[in-house]
Amino acid sequence: MDYVSAGVRLLTRPSSSQSPAGLGDTKETTFCNVTEDASASDPRKVFYRISLDNSLLEIQLGKTATWLPVCYEGWNSSLGTLVCRQLGYLRLTKDKGVNLTDVGPLYTDGFVQITAEHKSSLESLWQFRGSCSTGKVIALKCFECGTRAKLPRIIGGGEAPLGRWPWQVSLYYSNRHTCGGSIITSQWVVTAAHCVHNYRLPQVSSWMVYAGMVTRTTSKMAQDTGYAVEKIVYSRNYNHRSHDSDIALMKLRTPLNFSDIIRPVCLPKYNFDFPGGTQCWISGWGYTQPDNVYIPDTLKEAAVPLISTKRCNSSCMYDGEITARMLCAGYSEGKVDACQGDSGGPLVCQDEGVWRLVGVVSWGTGCAEPNHPGVYTKVAEFLGWIYDMMEKY
């Protein structure tokens, strides 16, 4: 059964020792084993980072080990925005030239400078330099995201405490919880296209977004605590049959106030894939029983490992149905399966100390079934579209 409705189940399947059916499942899983590609594919030629010590932009050209600071010559703020986006941050917050004399004798291997000639791609803009004529290098600060307040450590899955997933929102349509979503700025939320594609104007007014909560009791969902939706856009390439390009954006009429319990999640980096086996998390208010009768009041969470597309597309899993715009996560044995978080809700992975929105809960076959993990929209494939839509609207 395809699950493209609001319901997302965080289910536990009995182990094979308790269930005779489990023995057959184990055989099938072993038989279908496909080697996991444990290395992250990384076609980038240029690597960027912002030094935690002094906020300087550092660039690695090719596979050389040295990180070099960037000369101030030829710099402009629009380049800063492009670099921030390469790193998964929505926009530039601040940039400035810093005197090399203030940085100290840290950098002795040379510098990177912008080439004089106009180049079409950011990657081809940089060249090596022995010195900076102005004696200044670039410091950058990007839009903060993907962090959460200090919380007590949680062991295992279950109910999520307030503030653990501060970007998680509940999308209500006509006063009913319909889908999950993720905050990426104070006015924009990412969700799944299948959550919204039937709802065209004037029904935009029927949507409300609730943020900063884990308990979803109707009595508390007063009209004045939700955020009205101004605009809904979903990918023009969305295919409701194959679930391809299952992504949408909601713009809120009034901006969210960020706090310990309401914060944005980071987007993925350009051209970087997490390897299969990476431990990530999903969260949602979806169904907790296979018969779809009970939607929990409290936000649930579960850890799920990513599964490589090669493995997920094998004959024993989804047999070629997984496109380049999808990714899989879950357990092939099916014994403990976070089958999906709420439709439209987040699949997040931690990277360099921040949480990134790697997937959007999209579809799957059954729930907690062997060899049928959850399928998610691959957010990294839609970065250009997300930035374009936010600039357009």
Whether residue 137 is contained in a domain is answered as: yes
Per-residue pLDDT band for 24 (boundaries 50, 70, 90) equals very low
- Work out the end-to-end distance of the chain between its first and last CA atoms, rounded to an integer number of angstroms: 36
**Do 321 and 386 sit in the same domain of this protein?**
yes
Catalytically annotated residue among 235, 308, 343, 362: 343
**Do 249 and 127 sit in the same domain of this protein?**
no
Whether residue 152 is contained in a domain is answered as: no
By CB neighbour count within 10 A (0-12 exposed, 13-18 middle, 19+ buried), where does 261 fall? middle
**Do 293 and 330 sit in the same domain of this protein?**
yes
Report the percent of the chain where pLDDT is more than 70.
77
Mean of the per-residue pLDDT values of the chain: 82
C-alpha to C-alpha distance for 333 and 22, rounded to whole angstroms = 9
- Our answer to whether residue 243 is catalytic in this structure is no
**Do 39 and 50 sit in the same domain of this protein?**
no
C-alpha to C-alpha distance for 71 and 393, rounded to whole angstroms = 34
- Model pTM score: 0.85
Catalytically annotated residue among 194, 235, 243, 244: 194
Q: Closest Cα to residue 134, out of 94, 109, 99? A: 99
Q: Which of 142, 177, 201 represents a domain boundary (last residue)? A: 142
**Do 212 and 103 sit in the same domain of this protein?**
no
Catalytically annotated residue among 244, 246, 273, 342: 246
DSSP 274: P
- Our answer to whether residue 41 is catalytic in this structure is no
CATH number of domain containing 118:
3.10.250.10
**Do 169 and 312 sit in the same domain of this protein?**
yes
Is residue 230 within 8 A of residue 372, CB to CB? The reply is: no
Per-residue pLDDT band for 1 (boundaries 50, 70, 90) equals very low
Q: What is the count of structural domains for the chain?
A: 2
Say whether pLDDT at 340 is over 50: no
Whether residue 149 is contained in a domain is answered as: no
Q: What is the pLDDT of residues 64-101, one digit of tens each?
A: 778 999 999 999 999 999 999 999 999 999 999 999 98
**Do 15 and 56 sit in the same domain of this protein?**
no
**Do 112 and 224 sit in the same domain of this protein?**
no
Say whether pLDDT at 180 is over 90: yes
CATH number of domain containing 262:
2.40.10.10
Structural domain boundaries enclosing 57: 46-142
- Our answer to whether residue 343 is catalytic in this structure is yes
Whether residue 384 is contained in a domain is answered as: yes
| pLDDT value at residue 23 | 27
